[in-house]
Chain A
Amino acid sequence: MIRQNLLLAAWMLALTLIASGQEVDPRVRLIASKLRCPVCQNESVADSQSELSAQMRTLIRDRLAAGETEDQIVGYFVSRYGEWILLEPPRQGVLWLVWLAPAVALLGGAALVIAYLRRSVRPRAH
């Protein structure tokens, strides 16, 4: 009984098992953590347990073994999925906006605070 259930469950998982195997190479994890799992909702390829992510990790491992660099591998995924696959928007073009806007908001806000303080600070009356 127990063995049958285990087999049933394992049948569902067989491929995942083969694909994920042992990932001892920290470079695989580093690259995978920069990529978005396409079938998940906000998980990286490194963290996701989906089959596609497992396949992607295997692919990263194989390409590293074939001598490719991190940039080449990331570039390959971008060429297939577009910039969407990058968890962090690249610092280029209009995407600079999202990187700079918080700093601009902080500095602009600081200017407003200073303006407000200059207007509202009163020297002590007595």
Chain B
Amino acid sequence: MIALLGTGSLLLALVCAVAGLGVLIRGHRRDGPRGLTRGYRAAIGMFTGVSLAVVAMETALIGFDFSIRYVAANVNRVTPLLFRIAGLWGALEGSILLWVWILSGLTVLVAQLYRSRHPTFLPYVLSVLFAIATFFLALIVGPANPFTRLAVTPLDGVGLNPLLQNHLLMAVHPPLLYLGYVGFSVPYAFAMGTLLSGRHRDEWTTLTRRWTLVAWTALTAGLFLGARWSYDVLGWGGYWAWDPVENAAVMPWLVATAFIHSSMVQARRQLLRTWNLGLIIVVFLLTIFGTFLTRSGVIASVHSFTQSLIGPLFVAFLCVATLVSLGALFWRRRQAPEGGFDSPLSRETMMLINNLILVTMAFTVFLGTIFPLVVEVATGAKVTVGPPFFDHMVGPLGVLLLLAIGTGTALRWGRSGRDDLRKLGALAAAAVATTGGLAAAGVHSSTALIALGATVFVALAQVTEYARGALAHRAATGEGLLASVGALFSINPQRYYGYLTHLGLVVAVAGIIASQSGRIEVQGHLAVGETIQVGAYTLRLESLEALVGADRIVVAAPLAIGILDATAQAGTARSSGDVDILRPSENFFRQSRTPIATPAVRSTWRDDLYVALLAFDPKEQSAVVRVVISPMVSWLWAGGAIMVAAGVLALWPTRGR
């Protein structure tokens, strides 16, 4: 019953998408505005259909309808409600359903918002959105149908991968990531609309600025939450492993960040038109590629590979989208008169350079991700491109990028004068001096020093801009300094929230540098009552505990944490007494052979003490724990929060101009 309803609703949505596409293409020639009204109705029909399917799927997941294969594979009787709801995005078919749902919602929103204001432009935009939706709907009506039924209804389901249901972030991280992914379909559709209609060549970037920002902010949040999820769940004390899935999310983020900057250059200078169209096309293709990469298993793992039609269909869609987009771009390459630069020493030039670096970074990540596949197809040999490669390649590019951000902030639009160069010199000198101070304070790694120096440079450049703006505002209005800083955000939100994003990035990058270079890791075998010392911490194993839950057995090893007195002599170090109890545990899920660790973390702004239980012996009453001390990890989360907050505040309607 539910399965029938679900498949039926999806069919309805597919019919609406195809009809919408047809009506708009026909309407372009004959009906004019009437075609647009019909297209709008088709969008609503499509959204209704997909929404019904989502409701049907959630009903099945929440109500344990194991006659549906997807439910049986991703839920079992003991799966808690939250993770039954989240089961919608736990596997391929459901994820695509979520994808289409967001896409169809955005399509309705676009149709609603621009129907009266842009009646000639909108049909092109909607057609592109319908075309994308048609592909994904065809995919879930056909080979990836989430409502496929099992011949025999099992008594219980298999359940979600334990790694995915061990953390609350699983409930919010994937939808945010998908909102980011799908959100870029809108600016892409506007860009393609520009190319297909041959008009609106500067209008589209202004029209889509908010859409781009929504998608970018959601993707940023998704990336940071993903990092947090791996930190909290995977148990090795790291947050980023350059996994193909992570790379798939970071590539469109890098290119979209480039686009946000270069579209500002277009808005001011009527330059880089083809480049901007190209960037947003690449972002869109990368989101499709990312979805494919994440879900087809062509790279991620040899074992998740499925011999179904889904992979070939994705590749076919990717080919068609690439050829059509780039073909249209090539066809319209000579568009109109372009503006010019006043001077190479300007903010727009630096944005060009930042574009170059960001795109090179994205290219490097892309190359590293698909290189094993290329080598295998070309020579048959299997190679691995792992985290060390990415660290070595992306690290230096990141430092270059920081230098470009700092310089770009210090320079002005148009032509920078002598005073700007003096300011740049002062900033660089201050950054070098701070770096010297850090070296004297005991930071020895030269790579960390260079990176931290670049970070300080960027931070100072942003702060200087706030100070300059606020002082000018105070001089003009007589308001207080703090009020002036606040006023800046409403005077020019794009600029000052942009600087805030840079500051967030700086905070996050400082966290990354410190936690990567200052990491201490020790593995210790402790009997109950024994103590080990790691860095400035002491850890004493208190006992071993076991708890039986509905879906798992949890074994925990509570550890009393002490902090060494910094003034005590080495050797006679004395702990300040127990300051905290950490309870790292192992979860033995019913459906899984390998235990899932739940590490325990004591987090301060200075460092994180991260403890994972690796093994234990109840007879000897002992445990093996991994203890990781990483400096400043919390800065990473704080920086991410600042970046996301800046994005949200810049989007906040009442604050906009």
Q: Give chain A nearest CB distance to B611 CB in angstroms.
A: 14
Q: Residue B37 at the A interface, CB < 8 A?
A: no
- B271 contacts the other chain (CB 8 A): yes
* B384 / chain A contacts, CB cutoff of 8 Å: 36, 83-89
Write 19 A-B pairs (CB below 8 A) sorted by A numbering: A2-B546, A6-B616, A9-B553, A9-B588, A10-B619, A12-B588, A13-B595, A17-B615, A20-B614, A22-B525, A42-B243, A44-B386, A83-B381, A83-B382, A95-B383, A99-B393, A105-B364, A117-B341, A120-B340
Kindly identify, within residues 10 to 43 of chain A, every residue whose CB is under 8 Å from any CB belonging to chain B: 10, 12-14, 16-17, 20-23, 29, 34, 36, 41-43
C-alpha spacing A49/B233, complex, angstroms: 13
A110 to chain B, nearest CB (A): 6
A94 to B374, CA, bound (A): 11
| Given A9-B553, A9-B588, also A16-B383 (CB < 8 A) | no
Q: Residues of A contacting B597 with CB < 8 Å?
A: 49
Indicate the size class of the contact surface on chain A: 35 or more
Chain B residue with minimal CB distance to A2? B546
Q: Which A residues are in CB contact (< 8 Å) with B235?
A: 49
Given known A-B contacts A42-B244, A47-B238, A120 and B363 have beta carbons under 8 A apart? no
Interface residues of B in 70-125 (CB under 8 A from A): none
Tell whether A65 is near chain B: CB-to-CB under 8 Å: no
Q: CB of B555 within 8 A of chain A?
A: yes
Which 4 A-B residue pairings sit nearest by Cβ, starting from the closest?
Answer: A87-B386, A17-B615, A6-B618, A122-B340
Taking A6-B546, A22-B523 as contacts, is the C-beta distance between A120 and B388 under 8 angstroms? Answer: no
Residue in A3, A6, A41, A124 whose beta carbon sits within 8 Å of that of B301 in the complex:
A41
| Residue numbers in B under 8 Å from A109 (CB-CB) | 356, 359-360
Residues in B362-406 with C-beta less than 8 Å from chain A: 363-364, 367-368, 371, 375, 378-379, 381-389, 392-393, 397
Asked if A117 and B349 make an inter-chain contact with CB atoms under 8 angstroms apart, the answer reads yes
- List 20 extra interface pairs beyond A3-B546, A7-B618, A113-B352, CB under 8 A: A9-B595, A12-B593, A14-B617, A17-B617, A20-B615, A22-B524, A36-B386, A49-B594, A49-B597, A49-B614, A86-B386, A88-B384, A88-B392, A89-B384, A89-B385, A89-B389, A95-B383, A101-B364, A102-B393, A109-B360
Q: Which residues of A contact B202 (CB under 8 A)?
A: none
Residues on B with C-beta less than 8 A from A50 are: 594
**Considering the chains assembled together, what is the distance between the CA atoms of A44 and B397 in angstroms?**
24
Q: Which of these, A42, A89, A113, contacts B242 with CB under 8 Å? A: A42
> Provided the pairs A16-B615, A42-B386, A116-B352 are in contact, do residues A122 and B367 lie with their beta carbons within 8 angstroms?
no
Bound-complex Cα distance A43 to B244 (A): 12
Asked if A67 CB lies within 8 Å of chain B CBs, one says: no
Hey, which chain A residues are within 8 Å of B383, CB to CB? Answer: 83-84, 86, 89, 95
- Asked if residues A3 and B356 are in contact (CB atoms below 8 Å), the reply is no
CB of B356 within 8 A of CB of A106, answer yes
The answer to whether A113 touches B353 (Cβ under 8 A) is yes
B236 contacts the other chain (Cβ, under 8 Å)?
Answer: yes
Chief secondary structure at chain A's binding surface: helix
A109 to B595, CA, bound (A): 48
User: Across the interface, do B375 and A43 meet the contact criterion of CB distance under 8 Å?
Assistant: no
Which residues of chain B are near A43, meaning CB under 8 Å? 236, 241
In the bound complex, do residue A6 and residue B341 qualify as a contact, i.e. CB atoms below 8 Å apart? no
Chain B residues touching A, majority SS? mixed
A59 to B384, CA, bound (A): 22
Interface residues of A in 78-103 (CB under 8 A from B): 82-89, 94-95, 97-99, 101-102
B599 to chain A, nearest CB (A): 11
In the complex, chain B residues whose CB is within 8 Å of the CB of A82:
381-382
How many Å lie between the Cα of A105 and that of B363 in the bound state?
8
Task: Verify if B300 is at the interface (C-beta below 8 Å from A).
Answer: yes
Q: Are A120 and B338 in contact (CB under 8 A)?
A: yes
In the complex, A85 Cα to B384 Cα: how many Å? Answer: 7
Nearest CB of chain A from residue B298's CB, rounded to whole Å: 13
CB of B151 closer than 8 Å to a CB of A: no
Residues facing A in B543-569 (CB within 8 A) are 544-546, 548, 553, 555
Question: Hey, which chain B residues are within 8 Å of A20, CB to CB?
Answer: 523, 614-615, 624
Answer yes or no: B41 CB below 8 A from chain A CBs.
no
Q: From A36, which residue of chain B is reached at the shortest CB distance?
A: B384
Asked if A120 and B523 sit within 8 Å, CB to CB, the answer is no
Is residue A121 within 8 Å, beta carbon to beta carbon, of the partner chain? yes
Verify A102–B385 contact, CB threshold 8 A. no
On whether the beta carbons of B363 and A122 are closer than 8 Å, the reply is: no
Please state if A121 and B382 are interface contacts (CB–CB under 8 Å): no
Q: Does B342 contact A (CB under 8 A)?
A: yes
Per the bound structure, the CA–CA distance linking A1 and B601 in Å amounts to 29
When the two chains form their complex, are residues A10 and B616 in contact, meaning their CB atoms are under 8 A apart? yes
Q: Within the complex, which residue of B367, B525, B616 is in contact with A101, where a contact is CB–CB below 8 Å?
A: B367
Q: Is A8 an interface residue (CB 8 A)?
A: yes
- Residues in A with CB closer than 8 Å to B521 are 29
B607 on interface, CB distance cutoff 8 Å? no
